[in-house]
A and B are shown apart, each in its own frame.
Chain A
Amino acid sequence: MKNESATIDVPAESSSAMKGKAPLIGLARDHATTGSGGYKRGLSIFDFLLRLAAIVAALAAAATMGTSDETLPFFTQFLQFEASYDDLPTFQFFVIAMAIVAGYLVLSLPFSVITIVRPLATAPRLLLLVLDTAALALNTAAASSAAAISYLAHNGNQNTNWLSICQQFGDFCQKSSGAVVSAFVSVVFFTILIVLSGVALKRP
């Protein structure tokens, strides 16, 4: 008798078990998303730290080039004895471009924080990737054009009769070369930032 009542109860249990299955599936889905959110959050934190480092590099480049004035302590009638970044339009472009890149990095810090807080949202990451690519292009352009002029200032060019000015203006040359190196460090940081955003955009 008791067995018969147990068999009558079985279909009711199975239907309630079926009703109960849906929230279990929902819970399993939540588990999977929080799992991937964990490593994406780690990538976002690394992204934020890299941005801070890139801000330092870009500002250092702009500031070093901007304060690279040098005046030699003697003079003659014919030659120029002052050197500043103003004298070369490429260096002017370098200072302006690095300042723009540093400003962009500061403005992109809130978006990076958003990707830390909401690791599964793709829109902020996509926006950051696109803007980072444009900033990478600007940064590389500034750094490499200044590098070309620095190379010319160090070595001169015999075929075009361009003299190397570094033999006179040692300090100016050193500072401008240091600024170019700092700008290339910032380029490396940008490359890593873009790769991070690309990897974090992947949907598992």
Chain B
Amino acid sequence: MKSGQAEIMETSKGIQKSGLMSRRIAILEFILRIVAFFNTIGSAILMGTTHETLPFFTQFIRFQAEYNDLPALSFFVVANAVVSGYLILSLTLAFVHIVKSKTQSTRVLLIVLDVVMLGLLTAGASSAAAIVYLAHNGNNKTNWFAICQQFNSFCERISGSLIGSFIAVVLLILLILLSAIALSRRH
């Protein structure tokens, strides 16, 4: 009977320790969500406020560049805005995970939503990356001209806003990993 009591004491200490580990994982998730939110909202704003007008004009070629002109870039802005909105709303759920101890079904819900948002964000970021690559280099075979040679600051802005979005993609993958680890632990 005494050995049984000692085992109960040891397992309760083990529960306390792993409860602390779960809490640390939940706090780390909360912080990563905030960082990813800032990245996505920054990318969306940086891409959304691109507007460059060259100071000369001819009869044939257009000399204004906006993100609206390329549908892939407007999809990028929309995707980043949606994901940043989701990240803000999921902060409440992440906060609940820090405070509460039995969080299994809400963690599964969070993993599902995170995976969907990861897909959306990666789609937006990589389609914009394809178009930005084309804008930088053009394509000889299809006679697509590299517009970056004319619109320097527009090109710089759209290239820079991709970086924040890709960082947020990596952070979302880390968030999914952390949620899965927390889900598979004993407590």
Given contacts A90-B133, A130-B177, A133-B176, contact A141 B122 (CB under 8 A): yes
> Please, what's the 1-or-0 string for A116-148, where 1 marks a CB less than 8 Å from any CB in chain B?
000000100110011001101100111111111
| CB of B3 closer than 8 Å to a CB of A | no
Min C-beta distance of B154 to chain A, whole Å: 11
| CB of B129 closer than 8 Å to a CB of A | yes
What is the size, in residues, of chain B's interface with A at 8 Å between Cβ atoms?
47
| CB of B62 closer than 8 Å to a CB of A | yes
| CB of B184 closer than 8 Å to a CB of A | yes
CA of A122 to CA of B116 in the docked complex: distance in angstroms? 23
B119-136 residues with Cβ-Cβ distance < 8 A to A are 119, 122-131, 133-135
| CB of A19 closer than 8 Å to a CB of B | no
| CB of B70 closer than 8 Å to a CB of A | yes
The interface-forming segment of A50-58, A105-113, A158-166 is A158-166
| CB of A195 closer than 8 Å to a CB of B | yes
Given contacts A198-B111, A202-B104, contact A160 B176 (CB under 8 A): no
Contact residue among A126, A136, A153 (Cβ-Cβ distance under 8 Å from B118): A136
| CB of A45 closer than 8 Å to a CB of B | no
Contact residue among A87, A125, A140, A144 (Cβ-Cβ distance under 8 Å from B142): A87
Contact A165 B142 (CB under 8 A): yes
B60-84 residues with Cβ-Cβ distance < 8 A to A are 61-62, 65, 69-72
Contact residue among B111, B118, B131, B183 (Cβ-Cβ distance under 8 Å from A152): B131
User: Which residues of chain B come closer than 8 Å to A71, judged between CB atoms?
Assistant: none
Chain A: interface secondary structure? helix
User: Which residues of chain B come closer than 8 Å to A89, judged between CB atoms?
Assistant: 133, 137
Chain B: interface secondary structure? helix
| CB of B15 closer than 8 Å to a CB of A | no
CA of A141 to CA of B123 in the docked complex: distance in angstroms? 6
CA of A136 to CA of B116 in the docked complex: distance in angstroms? 10
User: Which residues of chain B come closer than 8 Å to A134, judged between CB atoms?
Assistant: 173
Min C-beta distance of A125 to chain B, whole Å: 7
Min C-beta distance of A186 to chain B, whole Å: 12
| CB of A36 closer than 8 Å to a CB of B | no
What is the size, in residues, of chain A's interface with B at 8 Å between Cβ atoms?
45
The interface-forming segment of B40-48, B89-97, B143-151 is B143-151
Contact B123 A140 (CB under 8 A): yes
- Mark A residues whose CB is within 8 Å of B: 80, 83, 87-90, 122, 125-126, 129-130, 133-134, 136-137, 140-149, 151-153, 157, 159-163, 165, 187, 191, 194-195, 197-199, 201-203
The 10 A-B pairs with the shortest beta carbon distances in the complex, nearest first, are A148-B127, A145-B130, A159-B69, A144-B123, A141-B126, A87-B141, A140-B122, A198-B111, A122-B184, A148-B72
- Mark B residues whose CB is within 8 Å of A: 61-62, 65, 69-72, 104-105, 108, 111-112, 115-116, 118-119, 122-131, 133-135, 137, 139, 141-145, 147, 169, 173, 176-177, 179-181, 183-184, 186
Instruction: Kindly list 20 other residue pairs between chains A and B, CB separation below 8 angstroms, not including A130-B177, A143-B123.
Output: A83-B141, A87-B141, A88-B141, A126-B180, A133-B118, A133-B176, A133-B177, A140-B126, A141-B126, A147-B127, A148-B72, A153-B142, A159-B70, A160-B135, A187-B119, A197-B180, A201-B183, A202-B183, A203-B104, A203-B183
Provide 15 A-B residue pairs closer than 8 Å at the C-beta atoms, listed in order of the A residue: A80-B141, A80-B142, A88-B142, A90-B133, A126-B181, A136-B118, A141-B129, A145-B129, A147-B127, A149-B130, A152-B134, A160-B144, A160-B145, A198-B108, A203-B104
